[in-house]
Structure 1
Amino acid sequence: MNAANRVVFNTGILYGRIIVTVCISLFTTRIVLDALGAEDYGIFNLIAGVIVMLSFLKNAMATSTQRFLSFFQGKNDKVMQAKIFWNSLFFHLILGVVILILLEIAGLFLFDGFLNIPLDKLDEAKTVYRFMAINVFFLILSVPYNGSLVAHENMIYVALINILEVLLKLAIAISLYHSADDKLVVYGLMMAGISSISFTGYALYCIRVYEECKLKNRQGIDKKMLKELGAYASWNLFGSLCSLGRTQGLAVILNLFFGAIINSAYAIANQVGGQLMFLSTTMLKSINPQIMKSEGNGDRKRMLRLALIASKFGFFLLSIVAVPFIFEMDNILAVWLKEVPDYAAIFCKMVLVGAIINQLTIGLQSAIQATGRIKAYQATVGSVLLLNLPLAFLLLKMGFAAYSVLAGYIVVEFIACCLRLYFLHLLAGLSVQRYLERVIYKEVVPLLVLMTICLLSINLFDFPFRFLLTITLAVLGTSVAIYLWGLCEDEREIVSKGILKIKQKVTKKKELALK
């Protein structure tokens, strides 16, 4: 299977996973919110909400291992691949232990009057926090194995593990109806168990299938390589923690000003945003190894072209669903949830706007990773993301509404996108004019078409499940607009050839069936 076909195949596999996981995850959220109640659900997402974002953190950290493995796969150097894997595993083991200790120390201060949690729920919150710390350890330990799977472009097994995780979460949610009074603790314990199961699944498969992971090929600790891996992973971790700190820091700030119940609305917004982001991150996960391998091969021109394609299609794949969600959010939440928390709709809309802006440079982030020169980039962009926290505190202190913190989130996200463009220009020579021509300018007309379709739908129709019609019309109409105005000539030619190839296969199958 050639590189292009492999990307298409892996994307198809991961989108199949999305259909299953998104539906189950959204249904699970409804059950958990109903079983725990708004207050307990808000407390869980305040204390353990970091776990909601840990899939992102794990993927970001796995990029370190995956980048080096893909880079040396491009050079066809199997000895270096084995050295990278075993040194990466040792590094993440140490990192997991250190973070576990730091989380335990941080817990001593968080619950000493800092968080706004009802006194009768304080002991339960502390217990959940410790369970989540264990969860973090296993997620970090699974990173090298996950990175190996992605480097080998084995998206089928990744999809199977993800589906297993959401099925277990659904089973946990249903079991809450039959639990005793301490439902919050039971939920925290069983959620912690999922990460250990996932780690076991990743480790056993990789040890059995991939040469660099086999015990017989175990490599000793190489201090020089460990230092290089550690520096790269540490800066990646810093960037991920800044993004995570921004998300969870906003939850803490909202909690300090408005109490635990508003955290339910914020958690729902992050749930909606996170699930829809899978649409674009799935495509990125498929194309990422090719970006890294191109840089390893010394083909920077192809690497930059793939980065621009990833940015444009990431934007389209998210917008085509997220924009209809924004227009229909009140309707969707009313159908999805039995009781919609205050501010949930406006929070969801603003989180999705921020996510759409992020997609403008999603491929550029991978290209910067591929160069291996990420220290200044992560330090700068990560610090800018954290500026969201003092900005949010200042806005609320001045008396602005709760949703003002997400207005700041959108502005900061736009600034971060500009910085990513600047750094890729600096590190890999990306032409800003080429980026504007092949990405930004090509997105304008399809986006206008998409918004027009949504406006017409909500003004012409009025029935309970109208959002299904709006989304369907948006997907169909915008897909045509993307083909006509969103693709460059070379991209349109590739798509046309792909459609022709599919037609030929269908015709051939029909002819064989008739014979």
Structure 2
Amino acid sequence: RKFEECSMRLVWDKKLSKDIWNYVGWNSIGSFAYMANNQGITVILNLFFSTIVNAARGIAATVSTNIYNFVFNFQTAVRPQITKLFAVGEFKEMNKLICNSAKYSTYLLIIIGLPVFIETEYLITLWLGHVPTYVIAFIRITLVEMLLKSIDLPIGDGIQAVGKMKLPNITSAIAYLAVLPTIYIALSLGASPVMAYIITCMSYPLALVCDLWILRKYTGFDIPFYCRDILARLLIIIIISAVLPTVITFYMPFGFLRFALSVSICVLCSCIVIFYYGLNKEMRYKVVRKVKNKLAFAFHQNT
């Protein structure tokens, strides 16, 4: 209003308004389904068990959320680039960025989350003084959920960039809402709260399969390459990284020494396996160069 060269008038763009409300409306359905899944499980657990179970669920959510924040912040930084590449029609580069986002964010989650998965009992004992019922199982299953979510989130970012939200939100809503009656039936038949958590975890691979199919439909995403380069490679990295720390937890007595040794070896094994097997030659060169530059800068500052 203060600048003469600027003017404003109200315009009703019917097509744009329709696109916006379609986007918002279908996203709202997906968000509602996710919220109903999360809160519905809490309600169902309250129907069958005492508040101890939901207290354990709250502890597991706290631990997993703090770990996943590292990954989520990394993926948030990549999201605008995915949208930009789609806007200019660079589908090949966009899909490559989606793969890299899924790959490196899950590597980060492995380095942070795998030691927690292996030494959950000691960490909870150190934090709370005692281990509440079901907490260890809940935390470990939730960490698996976080891993699946970190794989799927970049796929969802690619679909968000496309903007056609009807199909992905319908499929994700079905995947998330179908869990609730399944859990109710399982608990009615005498299943434990741990089984309810396992059933909940099954909705994430189902949503991932649907999202992969939808992204391929819109952008030609290479699903075989994704399965081979991301999923299979990720599984191998987890298995190799977990072998030695798991052996340590079996043969050493419970305590700080075992915790310190298993966590140190787990982080070291994860970093080595990721560096030599998880990264390609170009990325290894960039990492080495970055580390050398940082060390040279630190040495220069000290001298």
TM-score, normalised on structure 1? 0.54
Q: What is the SS of the residue equivalent to 1:387? A: helix
Give the equivalent residue in structure 1 for 2:288.
Answer: 499
Give the equivalent residue in structure 2 for 1:477.
Answer: 269
| Contact 1:445–1:481, Cα closer than 8 Å, also in 2 | no
* CA apart distance, 1:219: 7.9
**Quick one: which of 457, 461, 464 aligns to 2:248?**
457
| Contact 1:321–1:471, Cα closer than 8 Å, also in 2 | no
Calculate percent identity across the aligned residue pairs: 25
1:266 maps to 2:54: no
| Contact 1:294–1:302, Cα closer than 8 Å, also in 2 | yes
Give the equivalent residue in structure 1 for 2:100.
Answer: 309
* CA apart distance, 1:384: 1.0
* CA apart distance, 1:287: 0.8
Structure-2 separation of matches of 1:217 and 1:454: 66
Give the equivalent residue in structure 1 for 2:278.
Answer: 486
Give the equivalent residue in structure 2 for 1:413.
Answer: 204
| Deviates further, 458-467 or 301-310 | 458-467
**Quick one: which of 397, 400, 408 aligns to 2:188?**
397
| Contact 2:122–2:259, Cα closer than 8 Å, also in 1 | yes
Structure-2 separation of matches of 1:510 and 1:321: 28
Going from structure 1 to structure 2, the CA distance change for 1:512 and 1:320 (only over 3 Å counts) comes to closer
Going from structure 1 to structure 2, the CA distance change for 1:339 and 1:462 (only over 3 Å counts) comes to closer
Structure-1 separation of matches of 2:168 and 2:96: 20
| Contact 2:115–2:267, Cα closer than 8 Å, also in 1 | no
Any unmatched runs of 5+ in structure 1? Answer: 1-215
Give the equivalent residue in structure 1 for 2:40.
Answer: 249
Encode CA deviations 1:271-298: one digit per residue, 9 max, x unaligned: 1222221122121011111111111222
Encode CA deviations 1:19-71: one digit per residue, 9 max, x unaligned: xxxxxxxxxxxxxxxxxxxxxxxxxxxxxxxxxxxxxxxxxxxxxxxxxxxxx
Q: What is the SS of the residue equivalent to 1:354? A: helix
* CA apart distance, 1:314: 2.2
Write the letter of the residue equivalent to 2:270: T
Going from structure 1 to structure 2, the CA distance change for 1:229 and 1:392 (only over 3 Å counts) comes to same
**Structure with greater contact order relative to length (CA < 8 Å, sep ≥ 6):** 2
Give the equivalent residue in structure 1 for 2:25.
Answer: 234
Structure-2 separation of matches of 1:239 and 1:219: 34
Write the letter of the residue equivalent to 1:450: S
| Contact 1:284–1:310, Cα closer than 8 Å, also in 2 | yes
Give the equivalent residue in structure 2 for 1:384.
Answer: 175
Give the equivalent residue in structure 1 for 2:140.
Answer: 349
Alignment of 1:403-442 (within 5 A): 403-442=194-233
Corresponding pairs, count: 296
Give the equivalent residue in structure 2 for 1:93.
Answer: none
| Deviates further, 376-385 or 220-229 | 220-229
Write the letter of the residue equivalent to 2:282: E
Going from structure 1 to structure 2, the CA distance change for 1:513 and 1:234 (only over 3 Å counts) comes to same
| Deviates further, 494-503 or 373-382 | 494-503
Encode CA deviations 1:393-441: one digit per residue, 9 max, x unaligned: 0000011112111111122222111111111111111111221232123
Structure-2 separation of matches of 1:329 and 1:511: 41
TM-score, normalised on structure 2? 0.88
Give the equivalent residue in structure 2 for 1:446.
Answer: 237
Give the equivalent residue in structure 2 for 1:30.
Answer: none
Going from structure 1 to structure 2, the CA distance change for 1:424 and 1:340 (only over 3 Å counts) comes to same
* CA apart distance, 1:493: 0.9
Structure-2 separation of matches of 1:503 and 1:480: 17
* CA apart distance, 1:256: 0.9
Going from structure 1 to structure 2, the CA distance change for 1:220 and 1:464 (only over 3 Å counts) comes to farther
| Deviates further, 403-412 or 390-399 | 403-412
Going from structure 1 to structure 2, the CA distance change for 1:417 and 1:467 (only over 3 Å counts) comes to farther
**Quick one: which of 300, 309, 314 aligns to 2:91?**
300
Alignment of 1:151-170 (within 5 A): none
* CA apart distance, 1:483: 1.3
Give the equivalent residue in structure 2 for 1:467.
Answer: 259
Structure-2 separation of matches of 1:360 and 1:509: 35
Going from structure 1 to structure 2, the CA distance change for 1:461 and 1:503 (only over 3 Å counts) comes to same
Going from structure 1 to structure 2, the CA distance change for 1:505 and 1:264 (only over 3 Å counts) comes to closer
Encode CA deviations 1:198-249: one digit per residue, 9 max, x unaligned: xxxxxxxxxxxxxxxxxx9988574533432232122222222212211111
Write the letter of the residue equivalent to 1:259: S
Write the letter of the residue equivalent to 1:321: I
Structure-2 separation of matches of 1:328 and 1:248: 28
Structure-2 separation of matches of 1:218 and 1:243: 39
* CA apart distance, 1:454: 2.4
1:360 maps to 2:151: yes
Structure-2 separation of matches of 1:342 and 1:362: 31
1:290 maps to 2:81: yes
Give the equivalent residue in structure 1 for 2:3.
Answer: none
1:323 maps to 2:76: no
| Contact 1:314–1:359, Cα closer than 8 Å, also in 2 | yes
Going from structure 1 to structure 2, the CA distance change for 1:446 and 1:219 (only over 3 Å counts) comes to farther
Give the equivalent residue in structure 2 for 1:125.
Answer: none
Structure-1 separation of matches of 2:268 and 2:121: 23
| Contact 1:324–1:474, Cα closer than 8 Å, also in 2 | yes
